Amino acid sequence: MEAAAKGASAGASSKADSLLNRTMMQLLEHVEYRLITGGEDLEAIYRLRYQSYLKSGMCGPIASGMFEDRWDNLPNSYRFGVYCYGELVSTLRFHYISAAQPYSPSIDAYPEVLLERLARGETFIDGTRFATDPDAAPAPGVLPFLTLRIAMVASNYFGQDSVLTPVKVEHSHFYARFFNAVQKSEAKQFPGVLAPIALFEIPAGENMRRTLERFPFYQSTPTEQRLMFGNPAINRLTPLSIVPTAKYYRAAA
């Protein structure tokens, strides 16, 4: 009886994964990622952050209507907007952290977890300032997958030890289910936001390989990886637009 229940659960999970993969591969035909460093697009992602954070209680009112912070313009910072059918639907920022550039919000928030590991030579991708516009979503529930695909492209490019994802504990089930994220700290005050945030870590290596096999829409070609992360281009005024390459990666690998 127990074996039958487990088999049914596995079958349902596999069916759900297949539906998600089909939906995402179709949507990626209409998606572009923009590496944003200035101009109106930068203001747009700051406004989206603010609207999302204000609505969720992550921040209070800000007169400018934009949410930016002291980590945005660091040399190891990458700010992205996700556009679907030409409309901004979400945004995410990354810092690539190493002993040479130990700069990111998570380093400041969780030094007891990360500083010793950096000194040992470990490297990390720190994903923060995730914000979405649910009203602009092309389909229910897809924005986290469209947005966090950036983390998978970054992981393939940098080859870091882990991806860091500071999140509310109540949101952690998503990261554990789809990325095998592991909680590394208790929830605590996080720089720039009101809600307590815990640090979760997504191991690279074999874990990332299995995730890419399970969800092929996370795959990317080396060309896409280089365009997204080969140069932060902090002073670029015109955003660099990158088209997802999941359907091409096998031929280009």
- Which CATH number goes with the domain that contains 212? 3.40.630.30
- pLDDT at residue 176 is higher than 90: yes
Separation of CA 213 from chain center:
18
Q: 244 lies in a domain? A: no
- Please classify residue 57 by burial: count the beta carbons closer than 10 Å to its beta carbon, then call 0-12 exposed, 13-18 middle and 19+ buried: exposed
SS3 253: coil
- pLDDT at residue 2 is higher than 60: no
* DSSP secondary structure, 10-40, as one string: HHHHHHHHHHHHHHHHHHGGGEEEEE--SHH
- pLDDT at residue 252 is higher than 80: no
Supply the pLDDT for residue 243.
83
Q: What rounded mean pLDDT belongs to the chain? A: 88
Supply the pLDDT for residue 235.
46
Supply the pLDDT for residue 241.
81
Q: 209 lies in a domain? A: yes
- Please classify residue 135 by burial: count the beta carbons closer than 10 Å to its beta carbon, then call 0-12 exposed, 13-18 middle and 19+ buried: exposed
- pLDDT at residue 5 is higher than 60: no
Q: 59 lies in a domain? A: yes
Q: Where in the sequence is the domain holding 102, given as residue range(s)?
A: 31-234
Separation of CA 21 from chain center:
18
Supply the pLDDT for residue 12.
53
119 token code pair: 């000194």
Q: 201 lies in a domain? A: yes
Q: Residue 232 — pLDDT band, cuts 50, 70, 90?
A: low
Reported as half-sphere exposure (CB side, CA atoms, 13 A), residue 210 has a value of 10
Q: 245 lies in a domain? A: no
Contact 78, 232 (CB under 8 A): yes
Maximum C-alpha span of the chain:
62
- pLDDT at residue 64 is higher than 90: yes
- pLDDT at residue 253 is higher than 70: no
pLDDT per position as a tens digit, 156-174: 999 999 999 999 999 899 9
Supply the pLDDT for residue 164.
96
- pLDDT at residue 67 is higher than 90: yes
Supply the pLDDT for residue 238.
58
Contact 99, 121 (CB under 8 A): yes
With a threshold of 0.85, does the pTM exceed it?
yes
Q: 247 lies in a domain? A: no
Contact 115, 210 (CB under 8 A): no
| Type of residue at 42 | L
Q: Which residue has the higher pLDDT, 130 or 10?
A: 130
Tell me the sheet residues that pair with 95.
77, 126
Q: 36 lies in a domain? A: yes
H helix runs in the chain, sequence order:
2-27, 39-56, 105-109, 111-119, 143-158, 172-179, 206-214, 222-229, 249-252
d(CA 219, CA 39): 30
Number of domains in the chain: 1
Q: 145 lies in a domain? A: yes
